[in-house]
């Protein structure tokens, strides 16, 4: 099993010093969304701290049909997670569409676990559903050991209208580490 199978500019909303960002506090900072999917809670913990650090809106991406606990056994090829991840790249498992005013956000931090080396197909459903064309999206992941590389490159090649920032694997990141990371993106 193939278990272990990266822009800035004057208008970058993360660049609070750019002339375009002068104005109200909200305009200066850019409105932040921290959207995440988490199966066992690790990504949720990071996303929650990140929302505090960025003063962002925390949003959980929820599958229409929850993944059963047997999906935790990622060596089991009969599970839904395995079949989705190794099935067609075009698979888009349904999500609950409850995000209000998706267009109002300037910066989206997008978090998920790594599943079989890449982002869960559910993340692509989210990106298909809400589009974020022209917006800045910063991906982040948690994993057992896999890096963000494959997820990042798939995001960038599939959603070319998004201004992608190079993201990171954030397992165990403290509030201070997340603050430094957010600063480093500016």
Q: Can you tell me which of 49, 125, 136, 142 binds ligand FMN, judged by CB under 6 A?
A: 142
Q: Can you tell me which of 14, 33, 39, 125 binds ligand FMN, judged by CB under 6 A?
A: 39
For 115, phi then psi, to 5°, come to -120, 115
**Residue 114 binds to ligand FMN (criterion: CB under 6 A):** yes
| Torsion of Cα atoms, 70 then 35 then 124 then 115, to 10° | -40
Q: What's the closest the beta carbon of residue 52 comes to ligand FMN, in angstroms?
A: 17
How far, in Å, CA of 147 to CA of 144, rounded?
Answer: 9
Looking at the Cβ atoms of 104 and 145, the one nearer to ligand FMN is: 145
Q: What's the closest the beta carbon of residue 137 comes to ligand FMN, in angstroms?
A: 18
Q: Is 137 helix (H, G, I), strand (E, B) or coil?
A: strand
Looking at the Cβ atoms of 41 and 134, the one nearer to ligand FMN is: 41
Nearest-CA neighbor of 148 among 108, 176, 113, 107? 113
**Residue 81 binds to ligand FMN (criterion: CB under 6 A):** yes
Looking at the Cβ atoms of 71 and 179, the one nearer to ligand FMN is: 71
Would you call 53 exposed, middle or buried from its count of C-beta atoms within 10 A (0-12, 13-18, 19+)? buried
Instruction: Give the residues lining the site for ligand FMN (CB under 6 A).
Output: 3, 38-44, 71-72, 74, 81, 113-117, 142-146
């Amino acid at each position: 099993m193939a278990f272990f199978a990266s822009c800035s500019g004057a208008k970058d909303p993360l660049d609070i010093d750019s002339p375009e960002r002068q104005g109200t506090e909200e305009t200066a900072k850019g409105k932040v969304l921290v959207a995440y999917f988490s199966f066992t809670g690790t990504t949720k913990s990071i996303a929650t701290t990140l929302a505090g650090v960025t003063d962002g809106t925390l949003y959980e991406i929820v599958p229409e049909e929850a993944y059963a606990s047997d999906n935790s056994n990622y060596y089991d090829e009969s599970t839904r997670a395995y079949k989705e991840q190794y099935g067609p790249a075009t698979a888009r498992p349904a999500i609950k569409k409850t995000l209000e005013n998706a267009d109002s956000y300037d910066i989206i931090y997008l978090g998920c676990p790594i599943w079989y080396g890449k982002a869960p197909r559910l993340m692509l459903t989210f990106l298909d559903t809400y589009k974020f064309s022209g917006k800045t999206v910063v991906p982040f992941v948690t994993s057992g050991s896999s890096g963000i590389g494959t997820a990042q490159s798939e995001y960038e090649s599939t959603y070319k209208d998004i201004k992608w920032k190079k993201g990171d694997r954030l397992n165990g990141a403290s509030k201070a580490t997340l603050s430094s990371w957010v600063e480093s993106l500016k």
